[in-house]
Homo-oligomer: A and B are copies of this chain.
């Protein structure tokens, strides 16, 4: 039975932009596993698969339902043992948690500053109301104020990405000579930006930009299934 992956979408069902869902998309591609995507708008996420407080991604594989991209990756490594590993050892699993926390606390806020309003603009009306309420609470200001406050250039983002830029001096991927789940964690953050930002704010002319392009190209261009939001 095909694995089912519930993924966040915009007003357009093909507009899949969630960083966390992209981590899982590339995890499936990494392992060569087919899956059926089920696009879900913001206001339908909480109740997925009989839940009350779900967050995407949520995956159903036969009788098993798993939520959270890291949990899904661990499930896939434990279940599909004859496919390429997403962690490559116990040390890799533990340190991936560090990369997740780094990406979430350092990279995500910088990405959000660059595309929050563009995400809002791409949602259906009922999802816009939900997004506005939840995000204005987090940021402590209106979406419009937030959009005004932050310049639309990637200086802050590139500063946050410095540890990755330095790492790519001596190896092709966070995972070494091949990508691991930790790569998809940071890929997810930049794919979130690529698929939503109307301004031209993607990393350019540096190692992170090259690494991101390499990942977009892998697995028959799985990362290019959704086009860039910026025409530049």
- Show the binding face of A for B, using Cβ within 8 Å: 85, 87-99, 101-102, 104-106, 162-164, 166-167, 170-171, 173-176, 180, 182
Residues of B contacting A91 with CB < 8 Å? 85, 87-89, 91-93, 95-96, 175-176, 180, 182
Query: Quick check: B176 and A98 within 8 Å, CB to CB?
Result: no
Identical chains in the assembly: 2
A89: contacting residue among B90, B101, B105, B106, CB under 8 A: B90
A-side binding surface: helix, strand, loop or mixed? Answer: helix
How many Å lie between the Cα of A97 and that of B182 in the bound state?
Answer: 13
Residues of B contacting A98 with CB < 8 Å? 95, 99, 163-164, 167, 174, 182
Query: Quick check: B106 and A182 within 8 Å, CB to CB?
Result: no
A166: contacting residue among B101, B164, B175, B180, CB under 8 A: B101
Residues of B contacting A88 with CB < 8 Å? 89-92, 94
Query: Quick check: B93 and A90 within 8 Å, CB to CB?
Result: no
Query: Quick check: A174 and B95 within 8 Å, CB to CB?
Result: yes
With A88-B89, A88-B90: A95-B175 Cβ-Cβ less than 8 Å: yes
Nearest first, the 10 closest Cβ-Cβ pairs linking A and B are: A89-B89, A91-B92, A88-B91, A94-B176, A95-B95, A101-B166, A102-B163, A101-B163, A88-B90, A89-B91
